[in-house]
Structure 1
Amino acid sequence: MTSTSRPLTAVILAAGLGTRMKSRLPKALHRLANRPMINHLIDTVQQVADDIVVVVGPDMPALEKAAHPHRSVVQTERLGTGHAARTAEPFFGEGDVIILNADNPLISSETLHNLLSARKNGAALAMLGMRPKDPARYGRVVEANGNVQRIVEYKDATDEERGIGLCNAGAFCASAQDLRVWLSQIDNKNAQNEYYLTDVVALAAQSRTVQCVVADEAELAGVNSRAELAQVEHSIQQRLRAAAMANGATLVAPETVFFSADTVIETDVTIEPNVFFGPGVTVRSDSIIRAFSHLENCTIGEAVSIGPYARIRPGTICEKGSHVGNFVELKNVTLGAGAKANHLTYLGDASIGAATNIGAGTITCNYDGVFKHRTTIGANGFIGSNAILVAPVNIGDEALIAAGSVITANVSDGAMAFGRARQTEKTERGRETMTALRKKKEQG
């Protein structure tokens, strides 16, 4: 929220299809750190603006949903950024308006505050600019005597203008009253026959002061292609890794760990190489996530060991001191305090009591082809290797399930359950069988 008495409305332009993305998905919905691009910008803008309006294209209900609870308005015809800004005009309010592009997800609240400061210090129009190493096809900012005179789009620029290093970053701030006037005066007499938002700069500069606030290229880079999306993902991951380490986590090989925007890593957590965090993961203090593990929508309690090569799926809670080992998959499981599932196991839709040991190769058969069913295992139990637990089934406290058993009925507290055929031995039958088989092989 703004600290001044003048309210601030933020308008985010998100109607673009992003043709260079080669995608049916609206550009603003492409994901960065497992969150739609536009939501990164909304989260930042919420820190400075009193109201947010998102301009979307026709038939973009998913984008409107992503913008919720903020207001969305539809640009029914894509006639340029100036036309998109006009679409939001009824919601400008009577204070200041800041206009941003949805494909600039890395912009920081500090930079937005710098832009607002330029407005407060006398600029009728404040804009963001940058000096990229390769200006490429960015619009160029033409200055004179320290003030901005106009912005020329790359397609309309002369060779001399293309040599200018200061480029437009696409964010503008002015009073709602002034913007309404300037937007009403722009036309589409240009190479693309579009209404350019950037034309408000020349209109403002005719009689007013226009200032350019320069920020870092890495923060203002836009996303217009899959390659640029990957570059921005790299930047976001660097930020998230640095934040995790600054907050007290150890990343053995930071460049190989991938976070989601909402990943929560507490102090004294160790993360080994090649770990992927999907959305909705919290890891509590003193836990270790070993190499090549994949986690999503789960909570890892204190002093828990995960992996290596573990997959922790949505709905799973690993309580304090529990262990999940190599090639173990958990889905919608509560693994009690001190419980262990250390080898080659699938547990789905299950509750495992405290200090229970799950043997190698154990499977909870939770799906009958139509419905999911739950398995409940009590505390201090032991599930032998290669046990198959056919849900719905309840296994009591301190129960022991013999290795290789198929369990289809409930097991009471303290009981030992066998669910396998009785072993029998046929004297000499093994040798006779092998001799017969070898003879058949010799005979072809």
Structure 2
Amino acid sequence: MENAKISNLYDLDETIAKEYLEQFTYPWEALKGISEFIKKLGPTLDPEKFEKRGEDIWVAKSAKVAPTACLNGPLIIDEDAEIRHCAFVRGSAIVGKGSVVGNSTELKNDIIFNSVQVPHYNYVGDSILGYKSHMGAGSITSNVKSDKTLVVVKDGDEKIETGLKKFGAMLGDYVEVGCNSVLNPGTVIGRHTNVYPLSSVRGVIPANSIFKKPGEVVQKKEA
């Protein structure tokens, strides 16, 4: 399942979690260990650039954090990130350099790469969002199946049993998700792909494509 491999989704130079992610083939394999990784990495961060704000919470001094934001550890907020009014970080999260976590956005067990935007009313749980990816207002990752069974990643006839009950979405670099879309459990979206607003997305969506609706995914035309 080449489309779902870390090497085909992400530029690992654009995350503080590079060394952690390098040990895995598929990104969802990293979900179980995010919390422990943060606890190990946090104490090694440069105290000239980061301050400890609570138990297992490290925030870059250059980051902007609204006084109304709720921060729970383990958590790392990297340089120049912005955590806006009433954002809710439930913990086990890495927010990359220059990323924006907006009003009423909730994060839980995520790796957010550098320059990612989840700026308005987003829920992002058990997910990894690649460099410069963007989730439109109201778009969410659904991270538990309605029947509570374990998540299976599907790409055509190929299937991978993840063994995970909680698994949101893996967004490659530069992915654009339209407003009020739902990314169903086990969704993987390739680099430079756009998702139309109001979409319900599942499975593996190839890179450089446009998801218009289920069954209608077209490749982008080369400029």
Q: Which residue of 2 aligns with 1:279?
A: 55
Q: CA–CA distance in 2 between the matches of 1:327 and 1:355?
A: 20
Write the deviation string for residues 44-77 of structure 1: whole angstroms up to 9, x where unpaired: xxxxxxxxxxxxxxxxxxxxxxxxxxxxxxxxxx
TM-score, structure 1 as length reference: 0.33
Q: CA–CA distance in 1 between the matches of 2:48 and 2:63?
A: 9
Write the deviation string for residues 114-172 of structure 1: whole angstroms up to 9, x where unpaired: xxxxxxxxxxxxxxxxxxxxxxxxxxxxxxxxxxxxxxxxxxxxxxxxxxxxxxxxxxx
Q: How many residues align?
A: 154
Change in 2 beyond 3 A, CA 1:287/1:318: same
Q: Give yes or no for contact 2:169–2:185 (8 Å, CA) kept in 1.
A: yes
- Tell me, yes or no, if structure 1 residue 331 matches structure 2 residue 108: yes
Q: CA–CA distance in 2 between the matches of 1:312 and 1:266?
A: 22
- Tell me, yes or no, if structure 1 residue 397 matches structure 2 residue 191: yes
Q: Give yes or no for contact 2:60–2:79 (8 Å, CA) kept in 1.
A: yes
Q: Give yes or no for contact 2:104–2:121 (8 Å, CA) kept in 1.
A: yes
Change in 2 beyond 3 A, CA 1:269/1:309: farther
Alignment of 1:282-297 (within 5 A): 282-297=58-73
Paired residue type of 1:397: R
Alignment of 1:161-310 (within 5 A): 279-297=55-73, 298-310=75-87
Q: Give yes or no for contact 2:168–2:184 (8 Å, CA) kept in 1.
A: no
Q: Give yes or no for contact 2:113–2:129 (8 Å, CA) kept in 1.
A: yes
Offset at 1:326? Answer: 0.5
Q: Give yes or no for contact 1:266–1:283 (8 Å, CA) kept in 2.
A: no
Offset at 1:346? Answer: 0.1
Q: Give yes or no for contact 1:296–1:312 (8 Å, CA) kept in 2.
A: yes
- Partner SS state of residue 205, structure 2: coil
Change in 2 beyond 3 A, CA 1:390/1:278: farther
Query: Over aligned residue pairs, what C-alpha RMSD do you find?
Result: 2.6
Paired residue type of 1:292: T
Q: CA–CA distance in 2 between the matches of 1:285 and 1:266?
A: 9
Q: Give yes or no for contact 1:269–1:288 (8 Å, CA) kept in 2.
A: no
TM-score, structure 2 as length reference: 0.63
Q: Give yes or no for contact 2:50–2:58 (8 Å, CA) kept in 1.
A: no
Q: Give yes or no for contact 2:144–2:168 (8 Å, CA) kept in 1.
A: no
Q: Which residue of 2 aligns with 1:356?
A: 133
Higher helix share: 1
Flag the structure with more relative contact order, 1 or 2, with Cα contacts below 8 A and sequence separation at least 6. Answer: 2
Offset at 1:391? Answer: 1.5
Higher strand share: 2
Write the deviation string for residues 281-327 of structure 1: whole angstroms up to 9, x where unpaired: 10013101013111111110011100111011221101111111100
Alignment of 1:111-122 (within 5 A): none
Q: CA–CA distance in 2 between the matches of 1:343 and 1:266?
A: 31
Offset at 1:278? Answer: 5.5
Change in 2 beyond 3 A, CA 1:397/1:288: same
Write the deviation string for residues 195-229 of structure 1: whole angstroms up to 9, x where unpaired: xxxxxxxxxxxxxxxxxxxxxxxxxxxxxxxxxxx
Which of the two has higher C-alpha Rg? Answer: 1
Offset at 1:393? Answer: 1.4
Percent identity for Structure 1 against Structure 2: 25
Q: Give yes or no for contact 1:326–1:344 (8 Å, CA) kept in 2.
A: yes
Q: Give yes or no for contact 1:398–1:414 (8 Å, CA) kept in 2.
A: yes
Change in 2 beyond 3 A, CA 1:360/1:278: farther
Paired residue type of 1:294: C
Q: CA–CA distance in 2 between the matches of 1:314 and 1:305?
A: 16
Q: Which residue of 2 aligns with 1:318?
A: 95
Q: CA–CA distance in 2 between the matches of 1:360 and 1:416?
A: 18
Q: CA–CA distance in 2 between the matches of 1:346 and 1:323?
A: 13
Q: CA–CA distance in 1 between the matches of 2:47 and 2:80?
A: 11
Alignment of 1:33-112 (within 5 A): none
Q: Please, which runs of 5 or more residues in structure 2 have no aligned partner?
A: 1-42, 150-164, 217-223
Q: Please, which runs of 5 or more residues in structure 1 have no aligned partner?
A: 1-261, 271-276, 423-444
Q: Which residue of 2 aligns with 1:407?
A: 201
Q: Give yes or no for contact 1:278–1:295 (8 Å, CA) kept in 2.
A: no
Q: Which residue of 2 aligns with 1:232?
A: none
